[in-house]
């Protein structure tokens, strides 16, 4: 458990077990359960639980046909660039944390970069994407653009980002940390939180709730499959969804029949 910290006389409360203390790989069972459900369903279930800021609004898949992806968040934090530091990095008098942070991304992780929102620059392109593929990274979520987008979109690495841009991020931002809490398009992301992405975008799932959310989302998708059948049969939407008491009773009977036939 994290301890209290004092900053200029202000005591920061302990985050405790609800916020991940650092990166840890996702369990295969949890990963498989989350990959079975769509991002909109996960977002809807979390919204019902009071988690209203878990979807990365404004970020879109670079390739709408990309496969679903899931992994623990490897966080990268960027801030506005300082010119003397940029000069030192360019001359190799100082290390490039951009490269070091990505080189440290664990296999199976989802790299999540928070820069404060710089859609008009590209945090990475085809070379960094190739390097991350070779490391076995599961996906990328960026609040910046991405360069070489036509090439990266054809790669096996799923990318959710703010758009396409050819201007280097080094013109505006620089990486100052990794594996620490960040903000990405108004979403708080802690290292080790679970990121799930598909053709609709990406969500950040609190790790300690992830298995519960996966189960609720699977049940929600089963209910919605039944509702779609009812709507196709001509049942009015006002009755079918949200389901009233009669529809829920019929759904439970339908589930029992489905389970007995399995």
Region 248-254 average pLDDT: 89
Average pLDDT, the chain: 90
pLDDT at 246: 86
Tell me: the pLDDT tens digits for 80-120? 999 999 999 999 999 989 889 999 999 999 999 999 988 89
What are φ and ψ of residue 185, in 5° steps? 50, 50
What is the distance between the alpha carbons of residues 132 and 104, in angstroms, rounded to a whole number? 10
Segments making up each domain of the chain, as ranges: 6-207, 213-260
Binding residues for substrate: 125-128
What local confidence, expressed as pLDDT, does residue 238 receive?
86
Q: What is the pLDDT of residues 209-231, one digit of tens each?
A: 999 999 999 999 999 999 999 99
Q: Is the pLDDT of residue 1 over 50?
A: no
CATH of 6-207, one of 3.50.30.40, 3.40.630.30, 1.10.390.10, 3.40.50.720: 3.50.30.40
Stronger pLDDT, 202 or 6, i.e. the higher one: 202
Look at residue 15 in the predicted model and tell me its pLDDT. 59
The share of the chain scoring above pLDDT 90, in percent, equals: 73
Q: Which residues are annotated as a binding site for Mg(2+)?
A: 148
Question: Residue 4 — very low, low, confident or very high, per pLDDT cuts 50/70/90?
Answer: very low
Per-residue model confidence as pLDDT tens digits over 42-68: 999 999 999 999 999 999 999 989 999
Residue 119 is predicted with a pLDDT of 86
**pLDDT for res 12:** 57
Give residue 14's pLDDT: 59
Q: What is the mean pLDDT of residues 9-14?
A: 59
**Which residues are annotated binding-site positions?**
125-128, 148
- Please tell me the predicted confidence (pLDDT) of residue 17: 62
Q: At what angle do helices 210-232 and 39-48 cross, to 10 degrees?
A: 110
């Amino acid at each position: 458990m994290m301890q209290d910290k004092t900053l200029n006389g202000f005591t920061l409360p302990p985050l405790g077990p609800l916020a991940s203390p650092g990166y840890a790989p996702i369990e295969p069972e949890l990963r498989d359960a989350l990959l079975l459900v769509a991002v909109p369903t996960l977002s809807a279930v979390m919204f019902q639980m009071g988690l209203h800021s878990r979807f990365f609004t404004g970020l879109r898949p670079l390739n709408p046909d990309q496969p679903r992806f899931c992994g623990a968040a490897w966080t990268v934090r960027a801030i506005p660039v300082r010119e003397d530091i940029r000069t030192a990095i360019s001359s190799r008098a100082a290390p490039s944390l951009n490269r070091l942070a990505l080189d440290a991304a664990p296999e199976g992780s989802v790299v999540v970069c928070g820069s404060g929102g710089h859609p008009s620059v590209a945090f990475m392109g085809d070379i960094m994407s190739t390097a991350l593929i070779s490391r076995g990274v599961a996906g990328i979520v960026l609040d910046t653009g991405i360069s070489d987008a036509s090439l990266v979109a054809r790669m096996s690495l799923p990318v959710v980002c703010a758009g396409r841009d050819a201007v280097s991020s080094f013109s505006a931002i620089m990486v100052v940390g990794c594996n620490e809490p960040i903000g990405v398009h108004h979403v708080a992301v802690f290292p080790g939180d679970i990121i799930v992405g598909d053709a609709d975008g990406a969500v950040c799932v609190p790790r300690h709730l992830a298995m519960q959310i996966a189960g609720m989302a699977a049940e929600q998708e089963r209910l919605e499959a039944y509702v779609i059948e009812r709507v196709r049969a001509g049942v009015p939407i006002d009755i079918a969804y949200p389901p009233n008491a009669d529809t829920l009773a019929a759904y439970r009977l339908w589930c029992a029949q489905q389970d007995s036939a399995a």
